[in-house]
Structure 1
Amino acid sequence: MMTGFLEERAGLSGKVAAVVGGGGGIGAAVSIALARAGVDLALCDIDEAAMAETASAACTLGRTVTTCHADATDEAALDAFYDRLERDFERIDILVNIAGGTQRREFMAASRADIAQDIQRNYGYAVQSVQRAVPLIRRSGAGGSIVSFTTIEAHRGAAGFSVYAGAKAATTNFTRAMAVELGKEKIRLNCIAPDTTPSRGNMNGLPPEYGEAFGRLPPSAMSKGMEMYIPRGEQPPAEALADAVLFLASDMARFVSGMTLHVDGGTMAAAGFLDWPFGDGFVPVPLAGTLERMYRDGD
C-alpha cells in the first residue's frame, strides 16, 4: 500500500490502467511501475510469454491483472481486449498506448503494405484504443489520463522513417485535439516522445546488417556514440519512461494536458548539435579535430 507525501499527491493507488503493448521491454517497465504504485492492470500484447511474465510480477505485488494476447493493430483483436477489460473491471482510469514500431527504409522502396502497416501500428490503433477507452473512463465521473507513446521522429525530418514519423506526428496532434475536446470532463491526454532507448524494438527497426555491425563493436564504442549524440551522455532506460508515465497518469499532472514530454536525455533540445570528439565539442557539424581524424588521408 502506498504511503507518504508523494504517494498521496499522486493518487494512483486503487486505479485501473489499460496498457496496450504492456508485455515486454518498455511496456513491462511501465506495467510494473504502475503495479508498484497500486494500480490494477489490463494488459494487451502480441508477445504472450513476455506478457505472462509481466502479469505474474504484477500479481506478486498484490495487483489484479487481466491479460489478452492480441496484435493491437488488428481491429477485431483490439476490440476483443477492450471487451474483456470491460467484463473484468467495468471501468478504467488510465490508458497507456505503447505498441508501435517500424523498419528503416527509403520511402520509395516501401510497398503499399509497408506504408499501411506503419500507419496502423503507429497511429490507427491508437485512435481506436482511445475511442474504446473514453467511455470506460467516463464511468467514474472523475476523469482520467491517456498517455500515448510517440517519438522524437515526430518532431524532425527523419529520413528513412518518413511514414513512421508522419504517423507518430499524427498521434501527437490527435492527442492535442482530444485534450481540448475532453478537457471539461477532466480526461487528460498527453504524449511521451522517447528517442533512442536500449530496447529490442529499436534494434529491430534497423536492417539486419546494422545489427550485425553493431554486434562486432566493443561496448565502449557504442557508449562513445551515445556520449556524442545524447547531451546527458547515456540512453534513458525503460524505467525513465515508466517514471514519465507515472507522472502523467497521476494527480500531480492533473493540469497537464495536450502536451508531449520528451524523455530523451536532451536530444530534442540539442536539435542536431553533437558532442564531436577530438576537442570539437557541441556543434552541428564536425570541426577540424574530428575531420582531421576521419579524413586525414584525403578520402
Structure 2
Amino acid sequence: MMAGFLDERAGLGGKVAAVVGGGFGIGAAISTALAEAGVDLAICDIDAAAMEETAQAARALGRTVTTCHADATDEAALDAYYDRLAKDFGRLDILVNVAGGTRRRAFMEASRAAIADDIQRNYGYVVQSVQRAVPLIRRSGDGGSIVSFTTIEAHRGAAGFSVYAGAKAATTNFTRAMAVELGKEKIRLNCIAPDTTPSRGNINGLPPEYGEAFMRLPDAVKPQGMAMYIPRGEQPPPEALADAVLFLASDLARFVSGTTLHVDGGTMAAAGFLDWPFGDGFVPVPLAGTLERMYRDGDG
C-alpha cells in the first residue's frame, strides 16, 4: 500500500531517461533503479559489454532500452548518442550525467593533455549533454529533471585532485546557474556529490601501488579506515546513490532545484573530524591514544 502511494507521488512511470555513463558500477545501479521505477532508458557508456548487460536487465523488467557505445568526452560521439535518443524516443524527461573520473597526481606533474582530459571528463561533456537534452525535455511542456554527478572534492581542497576538483566545482555551479535559467520551464537541475564508494572508478583513480598495498591488508583491517573516516562507518553502496537519483528525478523533488545532495554517510558534515581509535573519538587530529600507538618509539 505504501509502495503504491510513493510510486504515485513520485510519478516516474512512463518517463524516458538518458543515463550518460549508465553501463557499469554506479551508472548501472542508476539505470536499473530507474527501470524498476517504470522508466524507459537511453544508455550511453564506454564499456559496451557492461552496458548491454545492464540494458538486458532493464528490458527484462519490461522497459524499452536503447544503447550507444560511446565515450561521453568525445563531442561527436555524444552528439550521435543524442541523435539516436531523439530518433528512438522523440522526447526526454530525465537526464543523469554519471560519467567522470580522474587519477591522483600532483598538479605540477600533470601534462597539459591530462589536464584537458580532466576538465572535459568532469565538466566539458556535462555542458554539451545539458545543451542537447534541454530541447528534448522542452517537447513535453511539462518540464523535467537533470541530475549531474559532482563530488565532495568540489567542496574542499583536494590535494592530488586539483583539476578534477575544479572541474567538478564548475559542474556544481553550472548546475546552479542553469537551475535559475530554466526554472520557469519547470526544468530542474541538481547535483549529487558522493565521496568514497566501492566502485571501479574510485579504485582506478588511485595509483596502482595504493590499491596493491590495500589488497595486501588482512580482510578484517580493510574496513577500519572507512569506519574512522565516515561517520556512518561504511561506504554508501551504488544503490544508495541510485536512490538519490530516483528522488531528484521524481515529482517528490518537484521544488528541489539548484542544489547539491551529499550522499556520503556524513563525511561532508564531518569536515575533517575523524573517529580516531584508541579512545580519541571524533577530532580533527589524533590525540594521545592514537599518537602513542603510532609513535610509541618516539620517532615513528
Q: TM-score range by the shorter chain?
A: over 0.9
* Counterpart for residue 58 of structure 2: 58
Give SS of 1:165's match: helix
**Aligned twin of 1:106:** 106
Partners of 1:179 and 1:126 in 2: CA distance? 14
Q: Which residue of 1 aligns with 2:277?
A: 277
Q: Please state whether the residue corresponding to 1:73 is helix, strand or coil.
A: coil
Q: In structure 2, how many angstroms separate the alpha carbons of the residues matched to 1:177 and 1:237? A: 30
Match for 2:222: what amino acid? M
Taking only aligned residues, the RMSD between alpha carbons, in angstroms, comes to 0.8
* Structure 2 unmatched runs, 5+: none
Question: Which TM-score applies when normalising by structure 1?
Answer: 0.99
Amino acid at match of 2:48: E
The equivalences for 1:181-200 within 5 A come to 181-200=181-200
CA distance in 2, matches of 1:240, 1:54: 18
Matches within 5 A, 1:1-299: 4-299=4-299
Question: Structure 2 CA distance, aligned partners of 1:176 and 1:10?
Answer: 23
For 1:193, what is the secondary structure of its paired residue? strand
Distance 1:214 1:102 in 2: 19
1:142 Cα deviation after fit: 0.1
| Aligned-residue offset at 1:127 | 0.3
How far 1:293 sits from its partner (Å)? Answer: 0.1
In 1, distance between residues paired with 2:281 and 2:236?
A: 22
Name the SS of the counterpart of 2:220 in structure 1. Answer: helix
- Quote the Cα distance in structure 2 between the aligned partners of 1:130 and 1:83: 14
SS in structure 2 at match of 1:268: helix
1:222 to partner: Cα distance: 1.6
Describe the shift of the 1:206–1:3 C-alpha distance in structure 2 as closer, same or farther (beyond 3 A): closer
SS in 2 for 1:297: coil
Structure 1 stretch displaced more, 14-23 or 218-227: 218-227
CA shift, 1:221, in A, is: 1.4
Shift of 1:201: 0.5
Distance 1:118 1:56 in 2: 31
Distance 1:263 1:239 in 2: 11
1:220 Cα deviation from its structure 2 partner: 1.9
- State the shift of 1:3 in Å: 6.5
| Structure 1 gaps, min length 5 | none
Q: Deviations over 1:215-274 (max 9, x none)?
A: 101222121111000000000000000000000000000000000000000000000000
User: For the residues of structure 2 that align with 1:129 and 1:95, how far apart are their CA atoms?
Assistant: 9
Q: In the alignment, residue 158 of structure 1 is paired with which amino acid? A: A
Residue 269 of structure 1 aligns with an amino acid whose one-letter code is A
In structure 2, the residue corresponding to 1:124 is in which secondary structure? Answer: helix
